[in-house]
Structure 1
Amino acid sequence: MDSPYSHELKIAFVAIQRAAKISQSVLAQVDLGVLKKDDLSPVTIADFAIQALLTATFHAAFPSDKFVGEESAAELRENPVLLERVWSHLQQGADAGGDAEANGLCWTPESPEQACEMIDWCGSGVPGGVGTGRVWVFDPIDGTQNFVRGELYAINVALLEDGKQVLSAVGCPNLSPDATAPLMDNSLDPEGRGSIVFAVRGYGTHVRQLTGSLGDVSVRAIPRHAEEAPTLRSVTCLNTLASGLEDVHITAAERLQMPFPGCNILPWVVRYVALGLGLANTTFWVYNTRARLAKAWDHAGAMLLFEEVGGKITDVDGRDIDLTAGRKMATNYGFVAAPKNLHGLVLRTLQDVIRQDGRIEVIGSGA
């Protein structure tokens, strides 16, 4: 795909390939170094190592750019053994090699201390808005619970300019580039190729296999299947997360006469991959409280995969998604993604169900 961001994509591809090798080397170990964060989600040495790798690589290529990522290095500084394990995997990743071009583009921190510093660049970073320029947003392992279980997970790389998505590159180390619906958490690539799904605003969504240099692998453009869609096909997270009003989701799907759950996937980024690839074209999520806020790295960039095939994404109130609000998306409540021609129907139906349910106030009026 020719675009003004061809160089950024080249960097993203090699960085994701090396990040995938780190994730796989960590996965091969019995003890994943699992900790518990304040929000009780698991985090492993893979998250820390990959965030450090991505930051070092993109900083070397674009030294004026800023960064946002999920992790901070506080746990590493308090746990020298864990830091040593992270550093060991970073060094192993650097020694894993690759073609000469990849080796010249992919960088690792120069020391454990610098690795912590770069992780914290992300951990204290904010997406920003108008006038803030270029900000890279990383989720080093999206779907860490799946990762620990050997199921589908993603490495999310996004570029924002003045708070707007302009580039998305998502590495899915165990998802086939030829995946078919219904996609489930355990729908692993039988050939072990993995995939990268990527998009640039105005240039469409594409998919390639994870391995191989850009000149050696085929790239498939995804048709704009979500601009005018005849039916609704769901991707959701049924019976997996307690953060949503599951009965509201089920009732709304019944009223929309939409088979449910369809694709059933835990990680948000992989759900957007399913939407982008056309394995589904609709998802909605009503949090069980308005105090629950989404996190930028779970959505930034990955949403572009669906928007570039014609899809529309708002929150449950019908507001546009605002990535400038901060690390947590404080101006949005929940998500509604659907084909552009059917988004209004999905939004109105979901809001009607929420009103009748009565647990959550509906602020929007539909579209």
Structure 2
Amino acid sequence: MKKNRGCFEEEKNVGLEALIKAAFLCHRVQKEMIGSRKGGIVEKTDRSPATVADYGAQAIICRILKDAFPNDPIVAEENSSLLIRPENQPLLELTVNSVEQTLGRKVGRQAVCDWIDLGSGQPDGRFWTLDPIDGTKGFLRLDQYAIALALIVEHKVQLGLLACPNLSFHSPVASCPMDNPEAASLSVAVAGEGAYLISLDRRQSIPLRVSSISDPRQVRLVESFEPSHTDHQTQQRILQGFENSLSPIRMDGQTKYSLLARGEADLYLRLPSPESSGYREKIWDHAAGSLIVEEAGGVVSDIHGQRLDFGRGKELSANQGIAASNGKIHQAVIEAIQRQLQL
């Protein structure tokens, strides 16, 4: 019997409203600015890129959340510190224009920066975590990315939402045409209530369910494009150990979780790279997607088979790596990881 029926209904509806607005902003920026190479990009201190869409989406989502839930901290990836630098004023202006165009009214530079910085909260008993563009390099390639939002209450993810503007509602392996964002997909899950796929115009909705594949030889792996995000070589050795010759699906951001929840992939791994074994995952990179997969019937753990602990700050400091599957192959995968990494 499902638990918590009707819980977090207001939070879900507000989250959907925020993500849909942000998705249309991101779609427009990708089409008009990134696609035509008109700029709108800055390099952060960790050398990762941030775009007008990162900042604009965060501003809109944080403003909508704070209006509805003023006491909830928001823990988001971005802040306005780079935007307010003199050399980045053109980027700020583009961000403000994108936010104003999305909202249909003037708001000004200071308001947009203030809204972005609403995401500088600290994890508490109840808080939201946000990645406004998860998969920025995919976004820049005009490929897949996700807008990821989750509500965490007492260490557990209770609500997860993933907007995937380039992932078609009807055909998960196909990108949406740039002139038809309404056909894009949005995955949502409430703890104990299952997971659903919703079209971006909210006219269509279907339950999400992971695959029934139980033979490791038939497993379809979805993995990150970026070699710095996972150990591709070890993942390939794991597949070879299963006598699995299927080519991995490579995709950016938490769209990988969405693909797994849809049953279009069976396994997602994020293994520590040999040169960064001490790295710990950020909560905003996994909170929404992990709940969606679990509510679709899958299993998400770290590479030791331990549940993810979202109650230790901004990082999954108690966990190492990620293993997400349809559940039926999970134990075999964990054992294979242990053998390959000699853990």
TM-score by length of 2: 0.88
- Pick aligned residue for 1:254 from 234, 240, 246: 240
Which AA in structure 2 matches 1:336? A
Once residues 290 and 197 of structure 2 are traced to their aligned partners in structure 1, the CA distance between those partners, rounded to angstroms, is 15
2:38 to 12, 28, 31: 31
Equivalences for residues 275-354 of structure 1 within 5 A:
275-288=260-273, 289-354=276-341
Question: How far apart are the structure 2 equivalents of 1:14 and 1:202?
Answer: 22
Q: Distance in 1 between matches of 2:329 and 2:229?
A: 26
Indicate the residue corresponding to 2:192 in structure 1: 202
2: distance between equivalents of 1:243 and 1:278? 23
Kindly indicate whether residue 106 of structure 2 is the aligned counterpart of residue 83 of structure 1.
no
C-alpha deviations, 1:199-245, integer Å up to 9, x for none?
A: 1111111011112xx4xx1210123x35x642343333366323432
Contact 1:276 1:309 in 2 (8 A): yes
**More off after superposition, 111-120 vs 343-352:** 111-120
Partner of 1:19: 22
Q: Please say if 1:45 is aligned against 2:37.
A: no
Ranges in structure 2 where 5+ consecutive residues have no aligned partner = none
Aligned length: 327
1:149 aligns with 2:148: no
Q: Is the 8 A contact 1:245 1:287 kept in 2?
A: yes
Give 1:6's aligned residue: 9
1:116 aligned residue: 113
The one-letter code of the counterpart of 2:191 is: R
For each residue in 1:113-132, what CA deviation from the matched residue of structure 2 results, as whole angstroms up to 9, or x when unmatched? 2322232231x32334xxx2
| AA matched with 2:118 | W
Residues 149 and 22 of structure 1: CA distance in aligned 2, closer, same or farther (over 3 Å): same
Task: Say which SS state the counterpart of residue 189 (structure 1) adopts.
Answer: coil
Q: CA deviation at 1:259?
A: 4.3
Letter in 1 for 2:93: E
Cα deviation for residue 54 of structure 1 reads 0.3
Give the TM-score of the pair, scaled to structure 1. 0.83
Structure 1 residues not aligned, in runs of 5+: 97-107, 356-361, 363-367
Equivalent residue for 1:164, pick from 150, 156, 173: 156
Aligned counterparts of 1:229 and 1:260: Cα–Cα separation in 2: 14
Secondary structure of 2:315's aligned partner: coil
2:120 matched to 1:127?
Answer: no
1:243 to 1:174, Cα distance in 2 relative to 1, 3 A = closer
Partner of 1:100: none
Write out per-residue CA displacement over residues 140-173 of structure 1, whole angstroms, 9 at most, x where no aligned residue. 1111111112111111111111221011111111
Aligned partners of 1:77 and 1:83 also within 8 Å: yes
Match for residue 231 of structure 1 among 215, 225, 248? 215
The structure-2 alpha-carbon separation of the partners of 1:258 and 1:277, relative to structure 1 and needing over 3 Å to count, comes to same
Question: Secondary structure of the equivalent of 2:335?
Answer: helix
CA contact (8 A) 2:189 2:292 kept: yes
Residue identity in the other structure for 1:307 = E
Work out whether 1:221 is the aligned partner of 2:207: yes
Deviation of residue 89 (structure 1)?
Answer: 1.1
Structure 2 CA distance for aligned equivalents of residues 328 and 126 of structure 1: 12
Residue 11 of structure 1 and its aligned partner are, at CA, apart by 1.6
One-letter amino acid of the counterpart of residue 321, structure 1: L
CA RMSD of aligned residues (A): 2.2
CA–CA separation in structure 2 for the residues paired with 1:162 and 1:230: 34
Amino acid across the alignment from 2:100 = Q
Contact persistence 2:168–2:185 (CA under 8 A) = yes
| Post-superposition offset of 1:329 | 2.1
Separation (CA, whole Å) in 1 of partners of 2:252 and 2:165:
16
CA gap of 1:163–1:119, structure 2 versus 1, over 3 A, is farther
